Amino acid sequence: MLSLTKKSDEPVAAPLWHTNFRNFERLPDTKVVRTTFFVNTAAGAVAIALLMWLGYGEYRLHNLSEQIAASQREIDANAKRNTEALRLTKIFSDEDKKLAEAEAFLKAPVSVSEFIELIGQTLPKEISIEFASTDPKGQVYLLRGVVAGTRDQAAGSASSYVDALRVHPRLGTVFDPITLDKLTPDATTGFMNIEISLKVKTEAKK
């Protein structure tokens, strides 16, 4: 009786003798140069670069602080000298102004004393001069006073007095124009306040 099974001439592989329980994720790295070496090296290089960058920033900041402090010390030192220079300049300017006023006063075609004397000689009885002055350059003289009488009478007396000053042999040759600038009532005295300005002629200046 023929057998129902047929023997195979091919050898049969031996079965594994135990199960593979290896955890490949936890096995050590057996490479010649481990991956962690490259990771640690790269991280160390980045850390060193950051430290160098921070150190350079601190160094620059320190230098800038030193420069600012030096500049501030120089500014403080110059500020004292500048303050003193401004003080001396102001003194010089004030003195120069006084000298210019004195020079202009000396060059004036008529002195203040002569001007007051001439005004006193020409003054009519109905007019009283209470204030006389000149500008610092001695080019404009000013008279202020009161005029007695009614408004119309005071206006006529003031106009007549200004005309008399214009035709005066000395004042008329030195001053032009001679004008009546103000004529206003004085509530306290009942008189009229007047203000007359006398400007030095250009020819008189020369």
Domain 112-205 belongs to what architecture?
A: 2-Layer Sandwich (3.30)
pLDDT at 29: 58
Q: What are the structural domain ranges in the chain?
A: 29-107, 112-205
List CB contacts of 104: < 8 A, sequence separation 6 or more.
136, 137, 138, 139
Mean pLDDT for 198-206 is 69
List CB contacts of 70: < 8 A, sequence separation 6 or more.
none
User: Distances in Å between the alpha carbon of 99 and those of 2, 87, 94, 103?
Assistant: 156, 18, 9, 6
Tell me the pLDDT tens digit for each residue of 62-106: 888 888 888 888 888 788 888 888 888 888 888 877 776 666 555
Give which of 203, 200, 191, 198 is closest to 162, Cα–Cα.
198
Whether omega for the bond prior to residue 177 falls within 30 degrees of 0, making it cis, is: yes
Name the band, by pLDDT with cuts 50, 70 and 90, for residue 132: confident
Tell me the pLDDT tens digit for each residue of 151-201: 888 888 889 989 888 888 888 888 888 888 888 888 777 788 989 888 888
Dihedral angle, C-alpha 166, 171, 176, 181, nearest 10 °: -70
pLDDT at 106: 55
Strand partners, 179: 197
Please write down the HEC assignment for all residues of 142-157.
Answer: EEEEEECCCHHHHHHH
What pTM does this model have? 0.47
pLDDT at 102: 63
Quick check: 150 pLDDT over 50? yes
